[in-house]
Amino acid sequence: MSAATHPDDVDLSPLAAIHARIARAAALAGRRADDVTLVAIAKTKPVEAIQPLIDEGQRVFGENRVQEAQAKWPPLVEAHPDIRLHLVGQLQSNKAEDAVQMFDAIHSLDRPSLLVALARAMDKTGRRVPLFVQVNIGEEAQKGGCPIGDVSALLTQARGADLPVAGLMCVPPAGIEPAPFFALLGKIAADNGLAQLSMGMSEDFDTAVMLGATHVRVGSALFGARAG
């Protein structure tokens, strides 16, 4: 029986069931569930779909696009000042300042030009937003992310610019067992003195938690599959 169909979860809300799965995976790894942050991915979701999760206590949400977040979140954050927004999608350098102003963490630092733009934006706004370096962990040509061989150099540049790098992020190749990719991301992070790992989505977050994820990015398991 998979974690997704555990009998104890039958009567739980989707949010409570996700937390139960995180707790079970953490326990198997000798970790505390409280050490894992659930980032509810709300991209394309209207306020009416998000509000029930807020009412149930969820406070960390992820978005893919700066403009969508700007259009949707200000009233919700005003009503719930403890909400924290994470940018998990690709970021264009010309949107760096908007992202720094809008988000509480950015999971998509992947190249020197974006690093320069983020440093400039943080200096201008006075906000120090934690960053995750997105690693192209499967070395896929069609995916964004810093090449594995360039991670150390990008981190050195980020530290030289006094940027607050919190950890690493990855999206493993689809349709392949994700565990080796999660383990590799953890090794790269450890080799570079980073403690936080943004990895694991709806299909594989249990595995990610067992392999050290500190942030899991869950959308469809909370909101249902996207249309189209």
Average pLDDT, the chain: 94
CA neighbours closer than 13 Å in the CB half-sphere of residue 202: 14
**Model confidence band, residue 228 (pLDDT cutoffs 50, 70, 90):** very low
Alpha-carbon span 60 to 85, nearest angstrom:
6
pTM (whole model) above 0.75: yes
Beta bridge partners, 134, equal 169
220 pLDDT higher than 50: yes
In a domain, 177, yes or no: yes
- Whether residue 22 is contained in a domain is answered as no
pLDDT at 176 over 80: yes
Rg of the chain in Å (alpha carbons) = 17
Confirm whether 26 is domain-assigned.
Answer: no
What is the pLDDT at residue 11?
Answer: 83
Given a cut of 80, whether residue 206 has pLDDT beyond it is yes
Q: How many domains does the chain have?
A: 1
Distance, CA of 197 to CA of 199 (rounded, Å): 6
Helices and strands in the chain: count of H runs, count of E runs: 10, 8
Say what the pLDDT of residue 5 is: 57
The answer to whether residue 16 sits within a structural domain is no
Instruction: Please spell the DSSP secondary structure of 111-148, one letter per residue.
Output: SHHHHHHHHHHHHHH-----EEEEE-TT--TTS-SB-G
Does 8 fall in a domain?
no
Domain CATH number, residue 148: 3.20.20.10
- Would 20 be classed as within a structural domain? no
Question: Does some domain include residue 3?
Answer: no
Within-domain flag for 14: no
Domain extent, residue 112, equals 34-221
Residue 132 confidence class, pLDDT cut points 50, 70, 90: very high
Q: How confident is the model at residue 1 (pLDDT cuts 50, 70, 90)?
A: very low
Across the range 50-79, mean pLDDT stands at 97
